[in-house]
Chains A and B, each alone.
Chain A
Amino acid sequence: MINSIIIAPKINAERVKKYLDSGKRFDGRDKDEFRDIEIETGVSVKAEGSARARIGKTEVIVGVKMDVGTPYADSQDAGNLSVMAELLPLSSPRFELGPPRFEAVELGRLVDRSIRESKFINLKGLCIKEGEKVWNIFLDVYTINDDGNLLDTAILAAIAALKEAKIPVYNEETEKVQYGEWTNKKLPLSKEIPMPITVHKIGNNFIVDPTREEEDLSEVRVAIAMHDGTIHSMQKGNSDPLTTEQFSEVLDLAEAAEKKILKKVEKYLK
């Protein structure tokens, strides 16, 4: 079956773990080091904002579209954010057409919470008329190539797309958004950018930014979004347990990794 081709052969699994035990990874990186990161904006001129992020060979694009709608009952004076993610079949032999499966749903929700919980978007700044009209932001995530760590790649692309986005023209009389026409106004964003640091446990070791081969061996995944040592969202994945000591190790590694990733993305996300 196809699975036998794509799932890392057991022989490699042993070698990956052995290497990690001696402090090495196949591509020579440190455990808290990301692959090369590239971010570019302007993937689609039709979008309010869009971006492509690459971490190594993993690539994700994110587009922002906006419209005007009514606020939620519990946030009458704030705009809405909705995030959707799709694992496109073009990006991996593992992804198939059809309704979203758990992996896609979780990816969307984790991107959503990293943006929302860090208050990166000031949603209150997107209220047009309290209780009646607010901006909706649709942030849509599409995978282009999966070589591991789609989540962190998606969050970086989302941040870049939001930073690039311009608010479209809204016609008060017709009560319609004039798509294709933009104001000069950018989205109300915070300077405190959430950094995605997803930590994986392989054997006795913890690493960030796994390649596909490494991620296939991941026993535990802890998805973290943090800014300057402060954690805004976290979700443990997979069913192996962690001792509290191991959990502390995850946090320490994340803090070290945040300092390193900042150096790589600074020039793109100024």
Chain B
Amino acid sequence: MTTIKRPDGRKVDEMRHISAKVGIVPNADGSAMYQSGKTIAIAAVYGPRKMHPQHAQDPEKGTLRCNYTMLSFSVAERAKPGPNRRSMEISKITEWALEPVLMIDKFPNTVIDVHINILQADAGTRCAGINAAAMALAHAGIPMKGIVSSISVGKLDKTLVVDLDKAEEDWEEGEGATDIPISMTDKGELTHIQLDGKISTKQLKEAVEMARKACKQIYEVQKKALKEGSGK
């Protein structure tokens, strides 16, 4: 594999600097911030609480409801406030990514709301949002089988790199950029994968392996933040 020079000088398997913190929204039942380089996501959990309207209640299990929103000033050109097709999809994908670790069957007829806001966007916002949300859910004390960690693996021209930033997402040389956001449980199961670009099946398998290693590191960061923030 040819080597590539990343715009910010990182090694191919080097993530951006991460910081993470729980308990950032005192009103919420659980909350967290996750920052990766210049991307910042905050998440707050409310619930489990009774689902309204009543006909939306599920008597067999609780409902996870995620809401991903980019703040208007989080991007270079002001984003129109309110939901759009992209944010609707990311919200749903976040639910799919997180549900496998949540023991929501313990809370029939309830809803757990997870509000995710992006304060600063420099690529990888859905991954940062999922990381923050997973921490916020744990911080809220909701029974979980594990934690979900999320990272974007990218292919710049022909080289796989971990944790794309905005400059890399816009990579145009050679085969351009392929973006592969992936989420995994701490046991290495895939709970979410998306892909835009161009990649062989063989290299995609390598990308998943790369994500697994990165998610392990993120898991440690999440765990540390949760320990430091225990007791709210």
Instruction: Give residues in A with beta carbon < 8 Å to B.
Output: 73, 102, 105-106, 108-109, 113, 117-118, 222, 229-244, 247-248, 251-252, 254-255
Contacts and interface: CB of A to CB of B under 8 A. Distances in A.
Contact of B96 (A229, A238, A255): A238
A234 B88 contact: no
Contacts of A108: 85
Given A233-B197, A241-B191, A252-B201, 19 more contacts: A109-B85, A109-B86, A222-B193, A230-B198, A230-B199, A232-B195, A233-B195, A233-B196, A234-B193, A234-B194, A236-B190, A236-B191, A236-B193, A239-B95, A239-B97, A239-B98, A241-B185, A243-B188, A244-B188
Contact of A73 (B77, B89, B99): B77
A117 B196 CA distance: 6
12 contacts: A231-B198, A231-B201, A232-B197, A233-B197, A235-B93, A235-B195, A237-B96, A243-B190, A244-B205, A244-B209, A251-B204, A252-B201
Interface of B: 77, 85-86, 88-89, 92-93, 95-100, 180, 185, 188-201, 204-205, 208-209, 212
Contacts of B198: 117-118, 230-232
- The 8 A-B residue pairs with the shortest CB-CB distance, nearest first, are A241-B189, A234-B195, A239-B99, A251-B201, A239-B96, A242-B190, A241-B100, A236-B193
Contacts, number: 88
A236 B192 contact: yes
A241 B201 CA distance: 19
B14 to A, nearest CB: 22
Contact of A236 (B188, B194, B212): B194
Dominant secondary structure of chain A at its interface with chain B: mixed
Contact of A241 (B190, B196, B209): B190
B176 to A, nearest CB: 9
B183 to A, nearest CB: 9
Contacts of B85: 105, 108-109
A118 B96 CA distance: 26
Nearest to B182: A236
B161 to A, nearest CB: 18
Nearest to B180: A234
Contacts of B98: 239
A106 B92 CA distance: 10
Contact of A247 (B194, B200, B208): B208
B100 A240 contact: yes
A247 B204 CA distance: 10
Contacts of A234: 180, 193-195
Nearest to A240: B100
Contacts of A247: 190, 193, 205, 208
Nearest to B205: A248
B200 A229 contact: yes
A247 to B, nearest CB: 6
